[in-house]
Structure 1
Amino acid sequence: MQFISTRGGSLGQYTDVLIEGLAPNGGLAVPAEMPRIDAAELERWRSLDYIGLATEVLGLFATDIPRADLERLCDAAYGAGRFSSPEVVPLSDIGEGLTLVGLSDGPTLAFKDLAMQFLGGALEYVLTNRDSVLNVLGATSGDTGSAAEHAVRGRERIAIFMLSPEGRMSEYQRAQMYSLHDDNVHNIVVDGVFDECQDLVKRLSEDIEFKRTHHLGAMNSINFGRISAQVAYYVWAWLRATDEVAESERAEFEVSFAVPSGNFGNILSGQYARLMGVPIRRLVLAVNENNVLDDFFRTGIYRPRSAEHTFATSSPSMDVSRASNLERFIFELLGRDAERTAAAWEELRTTGQIDLSAERHRFESEFGIVSGTSTHDNRIATIREFSDAVAVVLDPHTADGVKVAREYVEADVPMLVLETAKSPKFANTIAEALGSTAPVDPATRALLDAPQRLTEMPNDEAPLRAYIGEHALR
């Protein structure tokens, strides 16, 4: 399979875009032609375990990785001991027509482990074959950083430089990252918000000479490896949700997914699954008080907020006002027209917004996307209600997803809510919702008390360039 940039030009094959990250022209890698999954193929996959299914789905994109090697990479990512659930991704009924898709049973208790565990091994595989190194440069609003760092820690050919916003993550999230002392892990705390961290990453990544000199790459959701690995759990969830449906009805049996969203990568993977042929009725996008994406899908006008107007909320991983992966959706919306997509981003640069209100009618009718906003009071109430009703303690981001999902539940259409993280990562918010603080288990206490290593830095690319120049692998 060949890949292209959303702003034009060929990018090579899957292993090429894993290493490249952001395209040289500032665009994002997408398949030159979207693969298709038919009903017969879905049925053939129904009996597979998660390792087998991930191998099949990833194999549609990673056509330049030999099948035996891809199987080994998926086994290493999802095999025994990697995830606490033997199913890897368990589904559970939480009432009101809602099913929770358990994506947070990995090593950092967040959904991003599902992609990162594969991506870390895949990057090492490619680098070994090419006798090369990679310096991952990324930004995190919460869970991306720890999932990426835990996926590459100790790997000889990969170093990671992860930018995080000062004071904008939970204590647990900070501890998961900053307690790592591996030589190849560099935590950089920026005096700013997530969007400013992301801007620093983008500016350095768009400097082609600097990028080539220092072998820069990405593990956040601009890396297509993340997107492709996430498609697998949408397919898995549809298969499990339809296991009890009569075989004669399965081919057309639709489900909906509710997805807490920050950088639009997770829900984009669902959009790709839908475009590939998985019977998905709706993709319900849920955001917090930083509701730029909800505004866009309601009005057709994308108007990112400035750093000073980006709120610090109790679902911090979604405190994002400029969603990188929206460009991939707009590329599809504009008929995969790279010239129009590039023009849209030029419009954003010059005017501060992209006006696609003329396409607004297509968001739900053609792409199945609807949206909604959840506030602090909403998530506190949702956590409390589901704890009382079914003894399930939702993390704040998943609670946002549940809150918005309830607005779109339809009779006879299962609503699958994608879990974002485990609730212990957000102890203060859970305590507020439930009226008490849960006992801290010994492993969590040891993590929170562990010595932390980090480098503080202003919101300025000059010291970041100097730090990377000093510590990057050669």
Structure 2
Amino acid sequence: MLYLSTRGDPQRRHFCEILLEGLAPDGGLYLPERYPQVDAATLARWRGLSYAELAFEILSLYIDDISAADLKAICAKTYTEEVFGTKAIVPLKKLEDGLYLEALSNGPTLAFKDMAMQLLGHLFEYELARRGEQLNILGATSGDTGSAAEYAMRGKHGVRVFMTSPHGRMSPFQQAQMFSLQDANIHNIAITGVFDDCQDIVKAVSNDLDFKRKYKIGTVNSINWARLLAQVVYYFAGYLQATKSNTERVSFTVPSGNFGNVCAGHVARMMGLPIAHLVVATNENDVLDEFFRTGVYRVRGAADTHETSSPSMDISKASNFERFVFDLVGRDGARTQDLFGARLAREGRFDLGADPGFAQAAARYGFASGKSTHADRLATIRDTFERFGVMIDTHTADGLKVAREHRDAAVPMIVLETALPIKFAETIVEALGREPERPARFAGIEALPKRVQVMEADVAAVKAYIVQICG
């Protein structure tokens, strides 16, 4: 299996090359040359597999430069009951007939990002040891990616993490999870701006090929194909739990700001998983909802990026969205380069509403979308707790609210849970008048000493900091 850039770079690369690279040299994102196909017979064979076994089956379709024995061992080491607290790893929770939550937040940092990041940590350590090299990971987080990456990479040989985050815009619990880590290979950088400023810094550094190569810069953001690939697995796992036959269809609703989580669903659907609809749920920062309603992709500036009670989706520039648009425009690298390079730089937007491909997108790719507000969030959290005795976080509430607007009685709807409620305790208290349950290992975490550098949104300053640490 070889990988290509969404922006037309003619060179093809193997999985382990792009694992450590992040962005392609032309600024594009990597995708496989083709999506491996899965049929009903394959799904039948996968029923009854453990999550680690299922992960191996799916990953092995995309990875041919790691031996089967080594890849199987990496999956077995990653997806364990000890790490994720449950043998099922991602159990389904039935709320009512035809409506489920898929629990993705049982990992070390209580968020769905652990599902991919724990695998990435082992893959990085494996490949770096094989090469005898080191890697400096530069990332951006709006909340959960940072802690998931840091907990996965802490203490790993040959890896340093430099994680940028928007100063003061994460929940106190999220900040404490990251900033309280004292491991020598973990470096937190709080940027005075919004998440998109952090994301822009990561892309700018990744696009400086000389700096990137000299300081061995890699990424764990969802622009890294390996992370997105790991997320494909839980779509298959959810489907196999919700269905009895191998041709029955399901739909998924996915809270999304950066489009990585739902893009994994797009990949699963392109592989042949019988997904009827992929429903994108946004908060007040509704750039993705606007696109799926109108065909207009319009990036908003910092002043127009709302600070909300589902802060991990306070994003107005969905970096992973380029992968879907590449497929939407017929895998035309030159056109994708124009849209995400020149057009966005010049106009801050593009419009595919009149494009024949967009008109057919709902039928071809099954996408729908909707938006949730703070008031919706509170109402959904309250309703779900009162009727089902289930406490959900703010992002999952966005997903559940939008899911109800797109339900089809004949098709089960699975809402992807994104985090445990404790990460957003202030809003839970506002909705329910009570504190969410806190795992014992996180007792008093907000009071621990913090280790973080505050910086302006300046690429040069971040580069200088990396140089200072790396020597």
TM-score range (shorter-chain normalised) is over 0.9
* Number of residue pairs the alignment of both structures matches: 467
Match of 2:145 in 1: 144
Q: Deviations over 1:53-99 (max 9, x none)?
A: 00001111111110110011111111241101111010010126310
Matched, 1:330 2:325: yes
Quote the offset at 1:117 in angstroms. Answer: 0.4
- The within-5 A match list for 1:283-294 is 283-294=278-289
- The within-5 A match list for 1:273-422 is 273-345=268-340, 346-359=342-355, 360-422=358-420
Secondary structure of 2:237 counterpart: helix
Q: 1:329 to 1:107 in 2, by over 3 A?
A: same
Contact residue 11 and residue 23 of structure 1 kept, 8 A: no
Match of 1:240 in 2: 241
One of 265, 269, 276 as aligned partner of 1:270: 265
- The within-5 A match list for 1:44-123 is 44-95=45-96, 97-123=98-124
Secondary structure of 2:354 counterpart: helix
Matched, 1:424 2:422: yes
Q: AA paired with 1:278?
A: L
Q: AA paired with 1:107?
A: P
Q: AA paired with 1:6?
A: T
Distance 1:332 1:185 in 2: 36
Distance 1:438 1:425 in 2: 9
Q: Deviations over 1:239-277 (max 9, x none)?
A: 1111xx3xxxx2321000000001000000000000000
Contact residue 98 and residue 414 of structure 1 kept, 8 A: yes
Quote the offset at 1:441 in angstroms. Answer: 6.0
Contact residue 421 and residue 436 of structure 2 kept, 8 A: no
Secondary structure of 1:108 counterpart: coil
Match of 1:157 in 2: 158
Contact residue 296 and residue 353 of structure 2 kept, 8 A: yes
Contact residue 310 and residue 320 of structure 1 kept, 8 A: yes
Distance 2:108 2:287 in 1: 31
Q: AA paired with 2:372?
A: S
Q: 1:300 to 1:438 in 2, by over 3 A?
A: closer
TM-score if structure 2 supplies the norm length? 0.97
Q: 1:384 to 1:469 in 2, by over 3 A?
A: same
Q: AA paired with 1:119?
A: L
Q: AA paired with 2:128?
A: L
Q: AA paired with 1:7?
A: R
Contact residue 135 and residue 216 of structure 1 kept, 8 A: yes
Q: Deviations over 1:135-178 (max 9, x none)?
A: 00010000000000000001120100000001110111011100
Contact residue 179 and residue 447 of structure 1 kept, 8 A: yes
Q: Deviations over 1:98-153 (max 9, x none)?
A: 10000000000000100000011001111111111110001000000000000000
Distance 1:256 1:445 in 2: 37
Match of 2:248 in 1: 253
Q: AA paired with 2:388?
A: V
Match of 2:2 in 1: 2
Distance 1:240 1:156 in 2: 37
Q: AA paired with 1:361?
A: A
Match of 2:132 in 1: 131
Q: 1:439 to 1:23 in 2, by over 3 A?
A: closer
Quote the offset at 1:443 in angstroms. Answer: 3.3
Distance 1:96 1:460 in 2: 51
Distance 2:432 2:97 in 1: 21
Question: Which stretch of structure 1 is more off in the superposition, 368-377 or 91-100?
Answer: 91-100
Distance 1:290 1:455 in 2: 27
Distance 2:85 2:438 in 1: 19
Question: Which stretch of structure 1 is more off in the superposition, 89-98 or 214-223?
Answer: 89-98
Contact residue 393 and residue 419 of structure 2 kept, 8 A: yes
Contact residue 394 and residue 421 of structure 2 kept, 8 A: yes
Distance 2:283 2:68 in 1: 41
Q: 1:21 to 1:193 in 2, by over 3 A?
A: same
Secondary structure of 2:307 counterpart: coil
Distance 2:360 2:195 in 1: 30
Gaps of 5+ in 2: none
Distance 2:436 2:268 in 1: 38
Contact residue 11 and residue 29 of structure 1 kept, 8 A: no
Q: AA paired with 2:296?
A: I
Q: AA paired with 2:152?
A: A
Quote the offset at 1:438 in angstroms. Answer: 4.3
Contact residue 287 and residue 400 of structure 1 kept, 8 A: yes
Contact residue 11 and residue 17 of structure 1 kept, 8 A: no
Q: AA paired with 1:4?
A: L
Match of 2:455 in 1: 457
Distance 2:274 2:229 in 1: 18
Question: Which stretch of structure 1 is more off in the superposition, 335-344 or 49-58?
Answer: 335-344
Q: Deviations over 1:272-313 (max 9, x none)?
A: 000000000000000000001100110001001001110100
Quote the offset at 1:319 in angstroms. Answer: 0.3
Q: Deviations over 1:3-36 (max 9, x none)?
A: 0000012241111111110111100010011111
RMSD: 1.1
Distance 2:70 2:411 in 1: 38
Contact residue 363 and residue 370 of structure 1 kept, 8 A: no
Distance 1:441 1:195 in 2: 31
Q: Deviations over 1:437-469 (max 9, x none)?
A: 347565333322211110111111121111001
Distance 1:108 1:417 in 2: 20
Match of 1:17 in 2: 18
Distance 1:170 1:208 in 2: 34
Match of 1:182 in 2: 183
Q: 1:432 to 1:16 in 2, by over 3 A?
A: same
